[in-house]
Chains A and B, each alone.
Chain A
């Protein structure tokens, strides 16, 4: 592959497992995806699907005893898996930055917001305090923080949730990272503030040239921000592809059922929601064969012996389901989510 076409982040067969039950319990199994320059990729799944573990493994932030990370994750061709801690530390914060769901725990409460962003800048670049602060104030202004010079002098608890999240994004962008990993960045926020932050994330591609790996459980957030989407179920990839295709023609029954179980805000109101029976399995109790099998409306004998392999469906779409290969793909979705009247 020519260097200029190389994806920014290329993850192949990433596996994360932890010791337990007298062996190793896989939390994440064979997850592969890539993030291109100035692209927003969504990583969706329910709690326990392994989406946050995937991100933490990429950042080298899992330090649970006995944890095993295997596979490959190349950032601009550099292998992240197994990279020495010191090298990873230079990369982290400068080239790859991460923002979390709860900005209150990401900031220390005992220093001002500005102090913490200055420190991050000065950890990676040789700058005077004054120059670092000037950059901090400018970043806060770019993130839409009103009165940025004064806000920089405030402590995290003095800011609203939306402002804290903006400050955290400012801190993450302080060294102009090329990749931003955002783990549920708007889950703790109200919808009107969430809309502002999503708008900000969408704009980063143009204003800062950053790519974003957006981790979320909210299919609405994915539809509004991500060009490509990866659906995880119980630590494995269920499906991936262009967001438009995934929403119009999901190839995995899990994706389809997940989309159908969201109550529509517009259009006709179903008498009952098409809910998925049961709950997602924990990594310890993952069933043999397809992990979604016990909850799947289409489950049959071929699903049970081994987890179905990820197979191409067409136009960049992949699905780990036996149905397309058996010649009985899922029908396109009848859109229950009507457009605005």
Chain B
């Protein structure tokens, strides 16, 4: 088969944290996933579902407990920091808290120049000061900030501008893969749209591959080609964005989309799920969603459903998937 190499591939990745009293928190519980070049994958789920941990594991900002992480076909699961460093130029992260991600005592120019000083240029040599300065101006233009911003400090910028700076820093080394963890959720709606558009523009200009970790389904729909829905550490549904969001096969996805308060007066009322998400320390046996599932049957509490293809490109982990509308 002549399939292109995935930019990112996860094979049965698990991340377990040991807690006091011998307890274990399974933050990521056996996830396999492929992200193809040019794809924009939205990773959605509620707080505590493990989506941020998974995002960090993808870039090996966290080590996985078991399973494999492949970047452009190369296994990076156990690569040493030294061997990993050259690969880091190809994969970068944008964090949610744009303030915490920027050192308040360093100017924007200084912050953006750091990755360019640490990593050698493509020819293996250190970048000259002139080359770095030229790249900084390019980056500012790319994210829509004036070059005068380089001399200023993070406090002088609004939340949206700070997120632009974070994006510029992530792009400094021309990565192929960008993982963005809730990049717009801390922003006001009017500013959020600007950053969502910026992500779309950058993908067109630079041919990037994205993974968006987010909880806002409408934002995810706007910037993703494919969506993976997580619940308690596992992917419960995955497929093309509008297929998953508009004709969900998993009852959890259906509940999640129905719960979004839509800015439309007279939209159908939300289907209410009972209770809260259970703790990932004591996750339910059988299907992890059965304690809140309106469709749960006896089999669901006993046997864990595997993620299987419902039709090509649409996978679901449910014994009784919902019929297509």
Which residue from chain B places its CB closest to the CB of A227 in the assembled complex? B265
Report if A276-B190 is in contact (Cβ < 8 Å); known contacts: A198-B261, A341-B325.
Answer: yes
Count contacts between A and B, CB distance < 8 Å.
Answer: 146
Interfacial chain B residues near A275, Cβ < 8 Å: 190-191, 193-194, 196-197
Bound together, the chains give a CA A199 to CA B274 distance in angstroms of 12
Interfacial chain A residues near B5, Cβ < 8 Å: none
B49 CB, nearest partner CB in chain A, Å: 9
Which residue from chain A places its CB closest to the CB of B219 in the assembled complex? A263
Bound together, the chains give a CA A221 to CA B265 distance in angstroms of 10
Report if A47-B256 is in contact (Cβ < 8 Å); known contacts: A275-B194, A276-B193.
Answer: no
Interface residue tally for chain A (C-beta within 8 Å): 55
Interfacial chain B residues near A340, Cβ < 8 Å: 267-268
Judge whether A46 and B193 touch: CB under 8 Å: no
Report if A162-B276 is in contact (Cβ < 8 Å); known contacts: A190-B47, A275-B190, A341-B325.
Answer: yes
Bound together, the chains give a CA A337 to CA B266 distance in angstroms of 12
Interface residue tally for chain B (C-beta within 8 Å): 46
Bound together, the chains give a CA A217 to CA B192 distance in angstroms of 12
Which residue from chain B places its CB closest to the CB of A262 in the assembled complex? B263
Chain B residues 265 to 314 lying within 8 A of chain A, measured CB to CB, are 265-270, 272-273, 275-277
Interfacial chain B residues near A47, Cβ < 8 Å: 188
Judge whether B218 and A262 touch: CB under 8 Å: yes
Contact check: which of B189, B258, B268, B272 meets A217 at CB < 8 Å?
B189
B221 at the interface (CB under 8 A from A): yes
Judge whether B270 and A263 touch: CB under 8 Å: no
Report if A163-B276 is in contact (Cβ < 8 Å); known contacts: A276-B193, A279-B160, A341-B325.
Answer: yes
Report if A190-B263 is in contact (Cβ < 8 Å); known contacts: A160-B276, A163-B276, A263-B196.
Answer: no
Report if A339-B221 is in contact (Cβ < 8 Å); known contacts: A192-B259, A258-B189, A265-B257.
Answer: no
Which residue from chain A places its CB closest to the CB of B161 in the assembled complex? A279
Judge whether B261 and A272 touch: CB under 8 Å: no
B255 at the interface (CB under 8 A from A): yes
Contact check: which of A162, A223, A273, A295 meets B263 at CB < 8 Å?
A223
Interfacial chain A residues near B267, Cβ < 8 Å: 223-224, 339-340
Bound together, the chains give a CA A257 to CA B188 distance in angstroms of 13
B141 at the interface (CB under 8 A from A): no
Interfacial chain B residues near A301, Cβ < 8 Å: none
A142 at the interface (CB under 8 A from B): no
A194 CB, nearest partner CB in chain B, Å: 7
Bound together, the chains give a CA A219 to CA B269 distance in angstroms of 15
Bound together, the chains give a CA A248 to CA B266 distance in angstroms of 11
Most buried by B among A220, A262, A263, A276: A263
Bound together, the chains give a CA A340 to CA B197 distance in angstroms of 24
A191 at the interface (CB under 8 A from B): yes
Contact check: which of B190, B257, B262, B275 meets A337 at CB < 8 Å?
B262
Bound together, the chains give a CA A217 to CA B276 distance in angstroms of 24
B264 at the interface (CB under 8 A from A): yes
Most buried by A among B193, B197, B245, B273: B193
Interfacial chain A residues near B189, Cβ < 8 Å: 46, 217, 219, 258, 261-262
Interfacial chain A residues near B266, Cβ < 8 Å: 244
Which residue from chain B places its CB closest to the CB of A276 in the assembled complex? B190
A-B pairs, 5 with minimum CB distance: A220-B261, A275-B193, A190-B46, A263-B222, A195-B270
Q: Which residues of B contact A (CB under 8 A)?
A: 46-47, 158, 160-161, 188-194, 196-197, 200, 215, 217-219, 221-222, 242, 245-246, 255-270, 272-273, 275-277, 325
Known A192-B273, A244-B266; further 13 A-B contacts with Cβ < 8 A: A163-B276, A190-B277, A191-B259, A194-B261, A199-B269, A220-B261, A223-B264, A262-B189, A263-B219, A275-B197, A279-B188, A280-B188, A335-B264
